[in-house]
Each structure stands twice: as C-alpha cells, then as structure tokens.
Amino acid sequence: MIAAGIFLCLFILLIVTLRRHAWPTVFFFFLSLGSIALLFLHHATDSLKLNL
C-alpha cells in the first residue's frame, strides 16, 4: 500500500507540475524522492535483521 501511495503522490506531482505551481512541485518532488529512498532502505535492510 505504501508503494501505491507513492505512485499516487507521483500522480499529484504531475498535476501540480501541469498546473504550474512551483512550490507544490518542489514539495511533492522531495516527498516522493524521500519516500522512494526510505522504502529502498527498508527493502535493502529488512532481511538483514539489523540490531541498531
């Protein structure tokens, strides 16, 4: 569901970009990028069962 949510966030990013709102574009871009990076880190480290 998190992945589907990020795709939805990308769809909103497309809409705000087409409507030419610069600040919302920047906000949704970094929201998407941060979510992708965090999800990547989760999938990369989950199986390692790290004890931090």
Partner 1 sequence: MSQMNEVTSSHEEHSAWKLWPRIEFVILHFCVLAICAVLGGALWVQFVAGEYPCPLCILQRMAMILSAMGSIFVITHGHYARVQGFSVMGLGYGMSILAALVGLAIATRQILLHIAPGDLGYGSPVLGMHLYSWAAVVFLVVLLVSGLMLIFGRSPILHCPVCHEAESPEDSKKKFLRLRWYSWCIFWIFGAIIFINVFATFAESGFHAFLPDNPSSYRLFEE
Name the residue nearer to partner 1 (CB basis): 22 or 52.
22
Using CB under 8 A, pick the residue from 7, 48, 50, 51 that binds partner 1.
7
Q: Does 8 bind partner 1 (CB under 8 A)?
A: yes
Query: Other CB atoms closer than 10 Å to residue 27's CB: what's the count?
Result: 13
Residues in CB range of 11: below 8 A, 6 or more apart: none
Count of CA atoms in the C-beta half-sphere (13 A) of 44: 6
Q: Give the interface with partner 1 as residue ranges (CB under 8 A).
A: 1-4, 6-8, 10-11, 13-14, 17-18, 20, 22-23, 25-26, 29, 32-33, 36-37, 39-40, 42-44, 46-47
